[in-house]
């Protein structure tokens, strides 16, 4: 999140920023989890249960991408990739990660 905030502060074109509250971030996360791979950014924003300023929504998406919770496919759809339970299971089963 710090990287996103620093990038925004460095952007001289934008004067005012809207920073999301935790409940707003969680709402967006839950929506993306339920609809992973179905919607583009704009479609998600239009279908959220509560209204969110688009600028604030983009900050949330930047944060989710930076924290490796979402990726964007070649069609611009948002895909949820964060799965700590799945990773724990793989590690328990003896997953070996080769960095080479």
What CATH number is associated with residue 28? 1.10.10
Give the range of the structural domain holding residue 73, as residue numbers without chain letter. Answer: 2-92
Is 13 among the domain residues? yes
Tally the domains of the chain: 1
Q: Structure pTM?
A: 0.74
Q: pLDDT tens across 61-95, in order?
A: 999 999 999 999 999 999 999 988 887 787 777 76
Contacts of 17-25 spanning 24+ positions with Cβ under 8 A: 17/55, 17/59, 18/53, 18/55, 18/56, 18/59, 19/56, 19/59, 20/52, 20/56, 20/59, 20/60, 20/63, 24/50, 24/52, 24/56, 24/60, 25/60, 25/63
């Amino acid at each position: 999140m710090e990287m996103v905030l620093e990038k925004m502060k460095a952007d001289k074109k934008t004067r005012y920023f809207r920073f999301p509250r935790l409940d707003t971030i969680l709402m967006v996360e839950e929506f993306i989890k339920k609809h992973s791979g179905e919607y583009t950014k704009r479609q998600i924003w239009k279908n959220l249960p509560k209204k969110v300023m688009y600028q604030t929504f983009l900050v949330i998406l930047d944060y989710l991408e930076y924290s490796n919770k979402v990726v964007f496919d070649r069609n611009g759809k948002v895909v949820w990739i964060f799965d700590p339970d799945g990773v724990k299971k793989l590690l328990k089963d003896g997953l070996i990660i080769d960095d080479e």
